[in-house]
Chains A and B, each alone.
Chain A
Amino acid sequence: MFICVHLWFFARAMIRFDHVSKRYPGRQEALSDLSMDLPDGEMAFLTGHSGAGKSTLLKLIARIERATRGTLLVGNVNLSTLPRRRVPWLRRQMGIVFQDHHLLYDRTVFDNVALPLVIAGYRSGELGRRVHAALDKVGLLDKEKQMPITLSGGEQQRVGIARAVVHRPRLLLADEPTGNLDPALSREIMDLFVQFNRVGVTVLVATHDIALTEAFGLPVLSIEGGALSRDDFHGRAHGA
């Protein structure tokens, strides 16, 4: 109990890695002894060459993978002791954007975006309003009845983002959200993330596109050989 109170008062971090290591069986450590904080309400980029462990780090946060050693807190929930049956609850507290969208191609755009609300048990009226608000935010309100396959790559990614934010999570994770997009579209997508951050959502975006991160002046966490370094220099330009 003391520890809980302690964390509540002093650790206003949305994500806290405390000497976390991750090793896949039969391979060398993907992440070794990694410690970092991402404060509540902050937006940061996570960079590193491919295979450096960006995806692994995000997977740890979403509890898709479990840390081999160390403590990982997300919103003050200790993931290493979180029972399996509580994992869905954890994932409902966050929104995740994937590089390959992970949309359901046999359902309309509306149904794709509505999925988190259906899972959370919203009634249909409120569900419709929220889906429309999310689609409006990503500029796809007129495509709600289309199938995802008829949309361009950038539009599909925006559907994925609408789905990630429709239930208004406090934490938004994005894994290479601009991986397959041209620079102009990438910029648009990143602008969307910045907008969500301005209304209080903590955002962590993994990307290998260094040039793109420099344009925003946000904190950059870079992974190199399984270790993490934080560059707050960009942070000074971030006014929001």
Chain B
Amino acid sequence: MARNARRSARRVPDRKQAPKGNKAPRQRARGRQLGRPSAWVQEHARAALGSLGRMWRNPVANGMTAAVIAIALALPASLWMLLQNVERATAGWDAGARISVYLEPGLDSSAVERASNEIAARESVRVLERISPDEALEEFRSLAGFEDALSALDGNPLPAVVVIEPAADTPRSASALESLAKTLDDIAGVDRVQVDLEWVERLYALLDLIERGVGLFAVLLAAGVLLIVGNTIRLDILNRRQEIEVTKLIGASDAFIRRPFLYGGLWFGLFGALAAWLLLAVTGMLLAGPTARLASAYGSGFRLSGLDGAESLGLLGAGLALGLLGSWLAVGRHLRAIEPG
């Protein structure tokens, strides 16, 4: 006791004097306190571990909050995953854009030759197939039910057809294909140009719409996550009102008081995102078998793919950002209102 008193007495004059006027130094000499960087790390580690420990002591309530966040994150993420897979499965369907150029019926073979050569000479197209009227008739004959109908005809009513696709460097948008079709239509001997792409166009338009829908859905659910985290942190702040008052009285800065709550939000976001990732992984595993069976039934080697590394990081980042933002909003609103009095 006496030794302590002596030590204190010796220290008193050493202690840095109170600042003159209000030109106080930002930080007084800290004696055996830590230097800035390691103090910063230590303060953040204390706050992070402290709020983690606090969550751990109340596992049921906090677990449920994290689960709600997980579901809110997993819903748009799974829709997005589904969309990615559909897009992957249908990729290249428009690369198979075929244009059938029907020549006028009754052209003689030299006229057919001329017309089809002129089509082939265009740089914007690549000829896949030339079908003469006879070949077309053969093809029809081989289809069941047409035999009788065709034998009732006198001659061959079918025109020659040149099947082409846009050249590799030609744009494949609907309008580009349409203008391509128009230029082909002007060639002498060409009767009709048919672009058989409408259904693919419709599919992509539908996918675009769904993608937009998923985006809006994700925004709504993100707002939901913000509200969940914000409300949880708000309740936490209200529950710890007395503690906050006491620490403010002892000289805690706003940043010190804010920190554990912000880390709380961050933890909620992290655990929610991890649980969401797990949900998606399990869903992917459950659907992988049936998808593969379906794909092989269509003769496709398509396999369901889950979230890749970047997407997983994105999910994690979204969770962390939403958790931090949610707690930031709650902390900004409610901490300032608590003042000792």
Interface residue ranges, A against B (CB under 8 Å): 3-5, 7-8, 59, 62, 64-65, 74-78, 81-83, 85-86, 88-93, 96, 98, 102-104, 106, 115-116, 118-123, 126, 133, 136-137, 163, 168, 170, 195, 198-201
Chain A binder among B38-46, B270-278, B289-297: B38-46
Contact: B20 with A4, CB < 8 Å?
yes
Contacts A89-B24, A137-B1 given: A116-B12 contact, CB under 8 Å? no
When the two chains form the complex, which single residue of B4, B9, B13, B242 contacts A133, counting CB atoms closer than 8 Å? Answer: B4
Q: Could you mark each residue 238-267 of chain B with 1 if its beta carbon is under 8 Å from any beta carbon of chain A, else 0?
A: 000011011111111110100000000000
Q: Which residue of A lies closest to B25 (CB)?
A: A89
> Which of B26-34, B91-99, B155-163 lies at the interface?
B26-34
Set of chain B residues within 8 Å of A98, measured between Cβ atoms: 249
Residue among B30, B38, B251, B254 making CB contact with A85, cutoff 8 Å: B254
Greatest chain A CB density within 10 A among B21, B248, B339 is at B21
Residue of A nearest to B10 (CB): A199
A15 to B252, CA, bound (A): 22
Q: Which of A77, A96, A116 is the one whose CB lies under 8 Å from B22?
A: A77
Q: With an 8 A cutoff between CB atoms, is B18 at the interface?
A: yes
CB pair B254–A88 under 8 Å, yes or no, is yes
Pair B24/A163 contact, Cβ less than 8 Å: no
Q: Could you tell me the distance between the alpha carbons of A103 and B247 in the complex, rounded to whole angstroms?
A: 10
With beta carbons under 8 angstroms apart, the residue of A77, A92, A123 that contacts B32 is: A123
Chain B residues with CB under 8 Å of chain A are 1, 4-5, 8-9, 11-13, 15, 17-24, 28, 30, 32-34, 38-39, 42-43, 46, 242-243, 245-254, 256, 339-341
* Contact assessment for A199 and B8 in the assembled complex, using a CB-CB cutoff below 8 Å: yes
Q: Chain A residues near B15: list those with CB within 8 A.
A: 168, 170
Smallest beta-carbon distance A74→chain B, Å: 8
Q: Which residues of A contact B33 (CB under 8 A)?
A: 120-123, 126
Chain A neighbourhood of B39, CB < 8 A = 121
Q: Are A75 and B250 in contact (CB under 8 A)?
A: no
B19 engages A77 (CB within 8 Å): yes
Q: Please tell me if the beta carbons of B22 and A82 are within 8 angstroms of each other in the complex.
A: yes
Q: Tell whether, in the assembled complex, residue B341 and residue A119 are in contact, meaning their CB atoms are under 8 Å apart.
A: no
A-B residue pair count with CB separations less than 8 angstroms = 123
**B12 close to A119 (CB less than 8 A):** no
A102, B32: Cβ atoms closer than 8 Å? no
Q: Which residue of A lies closest to B15 (CB)?
A: A170
What are the nearest 4 A-B pairs in CB distance?
A: A75-B18, A91-B251, A92-B251, A200-B12
Chain A residues with CB under 8 Å of B1's CB are: 136-137
Residue of B nearest to A120 (CB): B33
| A59: B residues at CB distance < 8 A | 341
Residues of B contacting A123 in the complex (Cβ-Cβ under 8 angstroms): 32-34, 38, 42
Residue on A nearest B336 in the bound complex, by CB: A84
Residue of A nearest to B243 (CB): A104
A199 CA to B245 CA, complexed, in Å: 30
Whether B21 lies near A4 (C-beta < 8 A) is: yes
Minimum CB–CB distance for B259 against chain A, Å: 11
Q: Nearest A residue to B57 by beta-carbon distance?
A: A106
**CA of A78 to CA of B21 in the docked complex: distance in angstroms?**
6
Say whether A76 contacts B251, CB under 8 Å: no
CB distance from B136 to the nearest CB of A (A): 86
CB distance from A56 to the nearest CB of B (A): 11
- Least Cβ distance of B74 to chain A in Å? 34
With A and B bound together, what is the CA distance between A126 and B17 in angstroms?
Answer: 22
- Can you list 22 pairs linking A and B with CB atoms under 8 Å apart? A3-B21, A4-B21, A4-B23, A8-B20, A64-B249, A64-B339, A76-B19, A77-B21, A77-B22, A88-B248, A88-B251, A89-B253, A98-B249, A103-B246, A120-B33, A121-B42, A123-B32, A136-B4, A137-B1, A170-B12, A170-B18, A198-B5
Q: CA of A4 to CA of B17 in the docked complex: distance in angstroms?
A: 13
Query: Are A88 and B9 CB-contacts (below 8 A) given A4-B21, A137-B1, A168-B15?
Result: no
- A115 touching B24 by the CB < 8 A rule? no
The answer to whether A122 and B32 touch across the interface, beta carbons within 8 angstroms, is yes
Residues of A within 8 A of B19 (CB): 75-77
Q: How far is the CA of A64 from the CA of B340 in the complex (A)?
A: 6
